[in-house]
Amino acid sequence: MQDRLAAAHPERIDLKIIAGFVTPGARVLDVGCGDGALLMRLEEEKQADGRGIELSQKGVNEAVARGLSVVQGDADHDLATYPDRAFDFVILSQTLQATYNPRIVLEQLLRIGRKVVVSFPNFGNWRIRKQFILTGRMPITEDLPYSWYDTPNIHFCTVRDFVRLTEEIDAKVEKAVALYGNGRVMNRAVRLTLWNFLADQAIFLLSRR
Amino acid sequence: MAHIDTRLVEMEDLARSQAERPASPVARFSADEPLPLDAGVSLAPFQVGYQTYGTLNADKSNAVLVCHALTGDQHVANVNPVTGKPGWWSLMVGPGRPIDTDRYFVICANVLGGCMGTTGPASIDPKSGNAYGLDLPVITIRDMVRAQAMLIDRLGIETLLCVLGGSMGGMQVLQWAASFPERVFAAVPIACAARHSSQNIAFHEVGRQAVMADPDWCSGKYTELGKSPKKGLAVARMAAHITYMSDEALHRKFGRQLQDRTKLTFGFDADFQVESYLRHQGSSFVGRFDANSYLYMTRAMDYFDLASDYGGVLANAFRGTQTRFCVVSFTSDWLFPTPENRTIVQALNAAAANVSFVEIATDGGHDAFLLDEPEMFATVSGFLKAAARRRGVK
Phi first, then psi, for residue B259 (nearest 5°) are -95, 115
Q: Which of A60, A67, A78 minimises the CB distance to B385?
A: A67
Strand A87-93 versus strand A113-121 pairing type: parallel
* CA neighbours closer than 13 Å in the CB half-sphere of residue B26: 18
Rounded CA gap, A204 and B374, in Å? Answer: 40
Instruction: Give the range among A56-65, A185-194, B81-90, B165-174 with minimum mean pLDDT.
Output: A185-194
Count interface pairs A-B at CB distance under 8 A. Answer: 62
Q: Which residues of A touch B352 (CB under 8 A)?
A: 82-83, 86
A78 contacts B356? CB cut-off 8 A? no
User: Closest Cα of chain B to A14: distance in Å?
Assistant: 25
DSSP assignment letter at A77? H
Q: Which residues contact A164 (CB under 8 A, 6 or more apart)?
A: none
Q: Which residues of B touch A64 (CB under 8 A)?
A: 326, 356, 358, 379, 382-383
Stated as kind and residue range, the H or E segment containing A87 is strand A87-93
- The candidate with the shortest Cα–Cα distance to B320, out of B289, B352, B345, B293, is B352
pLDDT exceeds 50 at position A7: no
**Residue count of chain B:** 394
Would you call B68 a catalytic residue per the annotation? no
Counting beta carbons within 10 angstroms of the beta carbon of residue B244, is it exposed (0 to 12), middle (13 to 18) or buried (19 or more)? buried
Q: What is the pLDDT of residue B10?
A: 79
Handedness of CA B231, B237, B243, B245 (dihedral sign): negative
User: Closest Cα of chain A to B196: distance in Å?
Assistant: 22
Please say whether the beta carbons of B123 and B18 come within 8 A: no
How many C-beta atoms surround the C-beta of residue B79 within 10 A? 12
Residue A177, strand partner residues: A203
Alpha-carbon distances, residue B5 vs B2, B18, B284 (angstroms): 5, 20, 10
- Which residue would you say has higher pLDDT here, A3 or B16? B16
DSSP three-state, residue B237: helix
Q: Taking CA A41 as the corner, what is the angle to CA A35 and CA A44, rounded to the nearest 5 degrees?
A: 125
Q: What is the pLDDT of residue A149?
A: 95
Of all residues in chain A, the one with the smallest CA distance to B351 is A83
- The candidate with the shortest Cα–Cα distance to A97, out of A156, A32, A160, A145, is A156
Q: Which residues contact B193 (CB under 8 A, 6 or more apart)?
A: B170, B171, B200, B336, B340, B341, B343, B344
Please say whether the beta carbons of B219 and B134 come within 8 A: yes
Rounded CA gap, A76 and A94, in Å? Answer: 14
B326 contacts A64? CB cut-off 8 A? yes
A53 — pLDDT class (breaks 50, 70, 90): very high
DSSP three-state, residue B78: coil
Q: What is the pLDDT of residue B7?
A: 72
pTM for this predicted structure: 0.92
A64 contacts B382? CB cut-off 8 A? yes
Beta strand residue intervals within chain B, DSSP E = 26-29, 35-36, 42-43, 46-53, 63-67, 93-94, 99-100, 105-109, 160-166, 184-190, 324-330, 354-360
N- to C-terminal Cα distance for chain A? Answer: 31
Counting beta carbons within 10 angstroms of the beta carbon of residue B327, is it exposed (0 to 12), middle (13 to 18) or buried (19 or more)? buried
Rounded CA gap, B372 and A174, in Å? Answer: 50
Q: Which residues of B touch A71 (CB under 8 A)?
A: 345, 349, 355-357
Strand A201-208 versus strand A171-180 pairing type: antiparallel
How many C-beta atoms surround the C-beta of residue B175 within 10 A? 26
Q: Which of B324, B345, B379 minimises the CB distance to A65?
A: B379
Would you call B167 a catalytic residue per the annotation? yes
Angle of helix B198-213 versus helix B230-244 axis, rounded to 10: 160
DSSP three-state, residue B93: strand
**Mean pLDDT, residues A63-68:** 91
Average pLDDT score over chain A: 91
Q: What is the pLDDT of residue A65?
A: 87
pLDDT exceeds 80 at position A12: no
Rounded CA gap, B243 and B253, in Å? Answer: 15
Q: Which residues of B touch A81 (CB under 8 A)?
A: 346, 349-350
Of B24, B61, B123, B167, catalytic:
B167
Q: Which of B345, B350, B356 minimises the CB distance to A83?
A: B350
Percentage of chain A exceeding pLDDT 90: 78
Q: Which residues of B touch A66 (CB under 8 A)?
A: 382, 386
Please say whether the beta carbons of B281 and B238 come within 8 A: yes
For chain B, residues with pLDDT lower than 50 are: 1-2
B378 contacts A65? CB cut-off 8 A? yes
Percentage of chain A exceeding pLDDT 70: 94
Q: What is the pLDDT of residue A6?
A: 41
Stated as kind and residue range, the H or E segment containing A31 is strand A27-31
Handedness of CA B342, B343, B348, B351 (dihedral sign): positive
Rounded CA gap, A206 and A51, in Å? Answer: 19
Q: What is the pLDDT of residue B3?
A: 56
Strand A171-180 versus strand A184-185 pairing type: antiparallel
Rounded CA gap, B187 and B190, in Å? Answer: 10
pLDDT tens for A113-172 read 999 999 999 999 999 999 999 999 999 988 889 999 999 999 999 999 999 999 999 999
Q: What is the pLDDT of residue A186?
A: 83
Counting beta carbons within 10 angstroms of the beta carbon of residue B124, is it exposed (0 to 12), middle (13 to 18) or buried (19 or more)? middle
- The candidate with the shortest Cα–Cα distance to A118, out of A162, A154, A161, is A162
